[in-house]
Amino acid sequence: MKKEVYYPEYLQLDRILGAQSLESEKNNHVAHDEMLFIIVHQTLELWMKQIHFELDSVLVEFQKPTLDDAQTSVLHHRLQRITEIQKLMANHFDVLETMTPLDFLDFRDDLIPASGFQSLQFKQLEKKLGAYKNHTDEMRSYSRSALREEERDQFEGDVFSLFDGVEKWLERNPFLSWQNYSFETSFKEVIETMFAKEKDLIKNHPFLEKEQKDKEEKNIENMYQSFLSIFKGRSSGLSKEAFLSALFIHFYRDHPMLHMPYQILRVLVDIDQNHTAWKQRHLSMVRKMIGLKMGTGGSSGQKYLHVSIAQSCIFPELVELPSYMISRKNLPSLPSDISTELGFRWR
């Protein structure tokens, strides 16, 4: 017979609600706002656990050799959930900032050397997302030093990240090269034609002075070279094939088969920007609470957070993708057989 489920026992409320132990109380000077500080950070850790749970299931799918339509729909749903959790986590700072700097100073010294910098979950999350790959050796060493030895062992080693999964998924796009069609070749031809017209327009412009023409021609050449970089091998970030695939999906997203891949690319950018926005919001709170003081864990406070933000981007190429977009009127037409494969017909 199934045991009766009782709400407090199911949620283990006795353990959760009994997990707030005030250091200030132990040191005989109860600081009222320490309870708020603990609960906010415990809640953030719980939300991070949920992000790990969603992300782990997504990474399992990305490691499979193929993804069908049903799978991509599930992936999009779970990635979208991650973005909502990220936004919710950022909103926690609204509550925490009801605590003033003086309120924080009532118990700050009791916390030393504890620090959010010691959150193993957050460090593991950056690895799973793919942000860790952008960290410098100095940053990685500094990050590991905050952990205890047993936690360092959990943190060491390579992991299959969201970045890795997305790159491999994009590289498998079968429509980049289809029989006699090559998206790379057709797109490059369009780029060369488009910029040749731009250069010719400036060169023969009847109302521009030579100095203005030279300036505009230089700008156009710089942009042209930037576009040409798409077709060169990449030493870091997304591979050339993955980046071209992302462009292809954006350009031809109106075709039914590309609707969901396009939505996935959009939500990946949201995850990237939410991740950076959370760090920026954290920095803003630190400025309000401790100013230029060192962090309780011994970090340089604001300086460390600035460096961390600069190295937190997960998908820089996807974020910068609009720089390489061209208008629909300039898009190369797809061969009819590819258009048929990308669509469906009601009968």
Strand-pair partners of 177: 182
The span from the CA of 347 to the CA of 340, in Å, is 14
pLDDT at 313: 92
pLDDT tier, 303 (very low <50, low <70, confident <90, very high otherwise): confident
Query: Is residue 171 domain-resident?
Result: yes
Provide the 3-class DSSP secondary structure of residue 303.
Answer: helix
Query: Is residue 234 domain-resident?
Result: no
- CB-CB contact of 125 with 47 (8 Å): no
Query: Is residue 270 domain-resident?
Result: yes
> What does the DSSP 8-state code read for residue 65?
S
pLDDT at 6: 97
pLDDT at 182: 96
288, amino acid identity:
K
Is the pLDDT at 299 greater than 70, yes or no? no
pLDDT at 72: 93
Per-residue model confidence as pLDDT tens digits over 306-346: 878 888 899 999 999 999 999 999 998 999 999 999 997 66
Provide the 3-class DSSP secondary structure of residue 181.
Answer: strand
Q: Which residue has the tokens 């916390």?
A: 111
Please list, residue by residue across 294-315, b when 16 or more beta carbons sit within 10 angstroms of its beta carbon and e when fewer do. Answer: ebbbebebbebbebbbebbbbb
pLDDT tier, 68 (very low <50, low <70, confident <90, very high otherwise): confident
> What does the DSSP 8-state code read for residue 133?
G
Kindly provide the residue ranges of all beta strands, DSSP E only, lying in the chain, ordered along the sequence. Answer: 177-178, 181-182
- CB-CB contact of 273 with 85 (8 Å): no
Per-residue model confidence as pLDDT tens digits over 116-159: 889 999 999 999 999 988 888 888 888 888 899 999 988 888 89
Query: Is residue 228 domain-resident?
Result: no
**Residues in contact with 227: Cβ distance below 8 Å, sequence separation at least 6, in sequence order:** 191, 195, 324
Query: Is residue 99 domain-resident?
Result: yes
Give the domain CATH number at 266.
1.20.58.480
Query: Is residue 271 domain-resident?
Result: yes
The span from the CA of 50 to the CA of 56, in Å, is 10
Per-residue model confidence as pLDDT tens digits over 199-243: 999 988 888 888 898 899 999 999 999 999 999 877 678 999 999
pLDDT tier, 302 (very low <50, low <70, confident <90, very high otherwise): low
The span from the CA of 172 to the CA of 169, in Å, is 5
Total domain count for the chain?
Answer: 1
pLDDT at 301: 58
Q: What's the mean pLDDT in 250-269? A: 96
- CA 56, 62, 66, 71 dihedral sign is positive
The span from the CA of 203 to the CA of 210, in Å, is 9
Taking alpha carbons only, the member of 261, 225, 221, 222 closest to residue 245 is 261
Query: Is residue 331 domain-resident?
Result: no
Average predicted confidence (pLDDT) for the chain: 92
For residue 143, the enclosing domain spans 31-55+68-177+239-322
Long-range contact set of residues 282-289: C-beta below 8 Å, sequence gap at least 24: 282/93, 283/309, 284/93, 285/93, 285/96, 285/97, 288/97, 288/101, 289/99, 289/101, 289/104
Q: Is 288 left (phi over 0), alpha (psi -120 to 50) or beta?
A: alpha
Taking alpha carbons only, the member of 49, 196, 55 closest to residue 121 is 49
Looking at per-residue confidence, does 163 or 306 come out higher?
163
